[in-house]
């Protein structure tokens, strides 16, 4: 995931520490089935919290730096986070992956709430690995979050 969000404006923010609410979001794994599938055999573990939090942290670290000891705290309250996926009829690979994140952000008295959505479908490429549809959706949501944070903190 290439990150090109750093600018002269972001250098004034400096390193921040991240606080997640709920605090266990970075370790969250959902157990769910693919869209349209029912039953225990169609259930799988989807690391939505792990994937999103690590990608968001990466984007923000590359943008203005992450330092757990910083007195500047960016609080991300996860209101809703969901990953969905489906299988194609002719392939065991995922044919689509979608990520939805609704979160509230707080930093130095600034507060905002926003929703982020990304979807990756089969028509975009044919050489994807098994789970890359959902991974690409997670990447795009993380980039959207990074852009939103920069936009709000540099106003």
Q: Report whether pLDDT(32) > 90.
A: no
Cα 155 from Cα 149, distance rounded (Å) = 10
Query: What domains sit in the chain, N to C, each tagged with a CATH number?
Result: 12-153 (3.30.160)
pLDDT 10s digits, 6-29: 555 556 788 999 999 999 999 988
Q: Which two tokens stand for residue 115?
A: 């929703």
pLDDT 10s digits, 87-125: 666 666 666 778 999 999 999 999 999 999 998 776 555
Q: Which of 32-46, 77-91, 104-118 is predicted least confidently?
A: 32-46
Q: Report whether pLDDT(85) > 80.
A: no
């Amino acid at each position: 995931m290439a990150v090109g969000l750093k600018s002269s404006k972001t250098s004034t923010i400096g390193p921040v520490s991240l606080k997640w609410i709920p605090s266990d979001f970075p370790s969250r794994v959902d157990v769910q089935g693919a869209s349209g599938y029912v039953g225990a055999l169609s259930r799988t573990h989807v690391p939505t919290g792990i994937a999103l939090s690590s990608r968001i942290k990466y984007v923000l670290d590359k943008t203005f730096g992450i330092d757990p000891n910083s007195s500047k705290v960016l609080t991300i309250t996860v209101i809703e986070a969901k990953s969905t996926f489906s299988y194609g009829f002719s392939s065991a690979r995922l044919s689509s992956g979608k990520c939805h994140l609704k979160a509230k952000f707080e930093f130095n008295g600034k507060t905002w709430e926003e929703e982020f959505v990304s979807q990756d479908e089969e028509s975009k490429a044919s050489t994807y690995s098994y789970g890359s549809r959902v991974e690409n959706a997670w990447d795009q949501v993380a980039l959207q979050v990074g852009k939103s944070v920069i936009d709000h903190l540099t106003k």
